[in-house]
Chains A and B, each alone.
Chain A
Amino acid sequence: MTDELVNQADIMIDCQAVTKRYRSVVAVDDLSLQVRRGEICGFLGPNGAGKTTTLRLLLGLVAPTSGRIVIQGVDLQENPVAALNGVGAIIEESHFYPYLTGEQNLRQVLRVRGLPRDPGVIGDRLAKVGLAEVARRRVKGYSLGMRQRLALAIAMIQDPSILILDEPMNGLDPAGIRDFRLHLLDLAHEGVTILLSSHILSEVEQLATRLVFINRGRVVGVVDRHEAPEARAYVRAADSQRLLTWCQSRQLAAEPLDDGGVVVPLERSEEMATLIRELVNDGVDLLAVHPYAHDLERQYLDRIPAHREEVSSGA
C-alpha cells in the first residue's frame, strides 16, 4: 500500500486513455502514458504519429476529446495553472517576438508567470545557454541555434520540475547539441522529469532512460532501457528459415527481424561463443553473428514498420 502511494506520488505525468479528434481525424487514440520523477522519457514516432498533439495536450494547449491528464498530481483540465506550475516546455520550432530582445522575451515570461522580477535571474538563464552577449539584441537577428538556446532558457526560467521538449535540438550545432545533452543529464540528475520528443535518435539513445514509441496516435511500444535484457545475439544465416527452425528446436525465443536476421536471447553474454559453436556444428551457414546492442534505430523500425514502408516508398 505504502509502495503504491510512493509510486503514485512519483508519477509526474499521467496521461489516462486520452483521445483527441479533429472532426473525423483521430490524432491521439486512447493513449496512456506515465512518466516518473527524474526520468528522461524519449517519445518517438514518425511524422504525423501524434507526438506533437500529445505534447500539446500535456501542456493544456489543446483540450482532449476524452480521457484525463494529471500533471504533478493535479488534473490539468480542472486546474491548469496549478498543474502547469513549474512545467517548462519547448514546442516544435521555437518562436519568439522578433521585435523584442532576448532579454525582453525572457522578461515577458517572468512577468506572466508571476515570478520575482530579479534581473539576475534573466542574466543567469541567458548566461547558462550562452546568450549573455546577445541579450540586448533583437531576436529577429538570432540564428536558429540561438533561438533554440533562448527557448531552453525560457523553459528553464522557473527551475522547472518537468520539462516537455519537442524537437529541442533542431538547429543546434554539434557543440550546442553536446551542451544541451549534458544540461539535460544534469537536470535529470537533479530530479527534473523530462519528456523528450526528437527525431535525432542517437541523441535520444544517449539520454533516455525509457522509450515510448507512438504510431497513428497509439502507444505501440515501451522500452525500459534499464530493464531490457543486456545479453542478446544478432544472428543471420544463409537460410533464415533453417535458423528459425533451429532456434525453435532449442526452445529459444528468437525474434525474427525484417532483414532476415533473428535476435536470440542469451543467459549471459559469454554464451555467444557456445551459440556459434552449436550453430556451426548443426550445419547452419552463418553470415553474421554479433551482440545485439540497444540499437534505438532498430528498435524504432521494429516497432513502427509503417514508417519504414513510408520511408522506403518515399525513397
Chain B
Amino acid sequence: MLESHRPLLGPLFRNELEKLWAQRGRTLMIALLVIVVGGAWLTYRSQQQAQDSVQQSLVVVKGQLRQLRHQLKTASGGAKAQIASQIRAQDSVLQQMQKEGTGINEVQQIRALTVQLRREPMAQRGSTLEQLALSRALVHHGITYDNPSLADGWTLPGAVFASAAMLIFGLVAAGLASDRVSAEFEGRTWGPLLLNAPRRMVVYGSKLAAALTVTWAFMLAAALGFFVVGSILMGMGKPDVPVLVGVHVASFPHVPQLMPTIQPFHTIPQWLYDLVALGLSMITVGSLVTLFVTLSLVTRSTVLALSVSVAIILSGVLAPVVAHSASWLTVIDPAVYLPLVAAWTGQLALQYQVAAFTLETGLVVTGAWAGAAVLVGLLTIRRLDL
C-alpha cells in the first residue's frame, strides 16, 4: 500500500483552486477585462464630456460678455448701470468655469476659506476646516492648482473602491463563492470528497480559503488594471497628492444635514490611500465571501445560495431608501460597507445621512458577519450527513 500522510489545508486548498480555475477561469478573465477597460473608458468618456461641456459654455459666456461690453459703450444712465452689473455677474461665472476647466488656485482658495471661516456658524466650520486642511496639504506638496473632479491612473483605483462600483465586486464574489459546497452536493461529488478527505472542517476551510484567494486576486488584478488603463487613457497623475481621511460627521442643531465635526484632519498620499482602499474592500468582500460559502453549505442549493447572496449585495442599493426609517438595519447590512474606505473619509455617512457609518462600525459589522458565518459553517459541516 502506498504510504499516506494525510495533509491539512494545503493540498485541499490547491485542489479547490484547480477546480475554481477550471470552472471559472475564462469567465473571470473576461469579467476582469470588461470591468477594468469598461470602467476606465466610462470614466474617461464622462470626464471628456464634462470638459467639452465646460469649454462650450466658456465660449458662450465669453460671447455674451463681448456683447454686453459692446452694449455698455453705447448705453447711458440706468441702462448702463444695469449692463455693468450683468457684466460683473458674467465675469464671476466665467472665472468659476475657468477654475473648473483648469483647476482651483489653492493659494487663493486658502485665503477665501480663511475669510469664510470667520463669518461662518459653528456647524459649518468643520466642512470649511476640512477643505482648508486639504488645500494646505496640496500647497505643502507644491500643488497650487488642483481639479478634484479629474481622474488619472493613481486616483482611479481608489475612486473605484470608494464608490458604488464595489457592488460589481460583491456580485463577482457571490458568483465565485455561492456554489462552493452546494455544487458538490448537486454533482454528487461530496461523498467521494469526504471519503478521501475525512476531516470535514479542513474541507470547509479549504473551500473558504480558495474562494477568498480567487476573489482577492481578482480585486488586486482589477486595481492594477485600473491603474494601467487609467494611466493610458487619462495620464498617470501624481502618487503623492494628499487625500483627507479619518473624517467624522455629526448632526448639529438647526442644520438639516450631517456635517463634518471640528477635528484634526489628516491626509495620506494617494498611493497609500489606494492601497488602504483596496485592503479595506478586500476585508468587506472577504466577509461576504465567508457568508456566501456558508450559505452554500447550509442550503446545499446553488440557486438558493446565489439568490440570497445577490439579494444581500443588492440590499446595499436599497439602503439609501430605508436609511432614514430603519437606520439600524442599514448599519448591520454588510453590503453597505463594500466601499469601506468611504466610511473612513466620511463620504458614506454623508451619502446615507447616518452618522454611525464609520470605519470602526464597518470593521465590527463585517467582522461579526464573517465570524458568525465561520461558526455556523463549522457547526453545520460537523453534523452534516450525506
A contact set with B: CB distance below 8 Å:
56, 59-63, 80-81, 84-86, 89, 91-100, 104, 108-109, 111-116, 121, 154, 157-161
Contact = CB atoms under 8 A, between A and B. Distances in A.
A96 B193 CA distance: 9
A112 B15 contact: yes
A301 to B, nearest CB: 31
A108 B188 CA distance: 16
Contacts of B11: 111-112, 114
Nearest to B194: A61
Contacts of B197: 112-113
Given A61-B195, A109-B196, A116-B2, A97 B12 contact: no
Interface residues of B, number: 29
A213 B97 CA distance: 91
Contacts of A109: 196
B235 interface: no
B3 to A, nearest CB: 7
A189 to B, nearest CB: 16
Contacts of A62: 385-386
Given A61-B194, A91-B195, A99 B386 contact: no
A114 B4 contact: yes
A121 B195 contact: no
A111 B191 contact: no
B18 interface: yes
25 contacts: A56-B191, A56-B386, A59-B191, A59-B195, A60-B194, A61-B194, A62-B385, A63-B385, A85-B4, A91-B192, A92-B188, A94-B192, A95-B187, A95-B191, A95-B192, A96-B192, A98-B187, A104-B18, A108-B18, A108-B19, A111-B15, A112-B15, A114-B5, A115-B2, A160-B1
Interface string B22-59: 11000000000000000000000000000000000000
Contact of A97 (B1, B187, B386): B187
Interface in B138-193: 187-189, 191-193
A81 B199 contact: yes
B7 interface: yes
Per CB-CB distance, the 9 closest pairs between chain A and chain B, nearest first, are A111-B11, A95-B188, A114-B5, A80-B198, A61-B386, A112-B196, A114-B7, A62-B385, A112-B197
Contact of A84 (B1, B15, B198): B198
A62 B2 CA distance: 26
A166 B4 CA distance: 24
B315 to A, nearest CB: 32
Interface of B: 1-7, 11-12, 14-15, 18-19, 22-23, 187-189, 191-199, 385-386
Contacts, number: 93
A99 B192 CA distance: 16
Given A97-B189, A108-B19, 5 more contacts: A81-B6, A95-B187, A99-B23, A108-B18, A112-B196
B207 to A, nearest CB: 13
A94 B195 CA distance: 13
Contacts of B187: 95, 97-98
A43 B4 CA distance: 29
B189 A96 contact: yes
Contacts of A80: 198
Contacts of A112: 7, 11-12, 15, 193, 196-197
B1 A161 contact: yes
A112 B19 CA distance: 13
B1 A158 contact: yes
B175 to A, nearest CB: 16
B152 to A, nearest CB: 41
Nearest to A62: B385
Contacts of B15: 108, 111-112
B2 A159 contact: yes
B271 to A, nearest CB: 39
Given A91-B192, A111-B12, A86 B1 contact: yes
Nearest to A80: B198
Contacts of A111: 7, 11-12, 14-15
Nearest to B23: A99
Contacts of B196: 109, 112-113
A103 B177 CA distance: 25
A163 B14 CA distance: 27
- Interface centre among B6, B198, B385, by most chain A C-beta atoms within 10 angstroms, is B198
Contacts of B189: 95-97
A97 B192 CA distance: 11
- Interface centre among B194, B196, B385, by most chain A C-beta atoms within 10 angstroms, is B196
Given A61-B194, A95-B187, A95-B189, A116 B3 contact: yes
- Interface centre among A56, A121, A160, by most chain B C-beta atoms within 10 angstroms, is A56
Contact of A158 (B2, B12, B18, B385): B2
B1 A104 contact: no
A91 B70 CA distance: 95
A71 B328 CA distance: 54
A86 B1 CA distance: 7
A92 B188 CA distance: 10
Contacts of A92: 188
A190 to B, nearest CB: 11
A96 B196 CA distance: 13
Nearest to A96: B189
A98 to B, nearest CB: 7
Contacts of A161: 1
A199 to B, nearest CB: 19
A80 B191 CA distance: 14
- Interface centre among B4, B15, B193, B195, by most chain A C-beta atoms within 10 angstroms, is B195
A97 B4 contact: no
Contacts of B12: 111-112
B247 to A, nearest CB: 47
B195 A93 contact: no
A22 B22 CA distance: 36
Nearest to A86: B1
Nearest to B19: A97
B22 A99 contact: yes
A89 B7 contact: no
A63 B18 CA distance: 30
B230 to A, nearest CB: 35
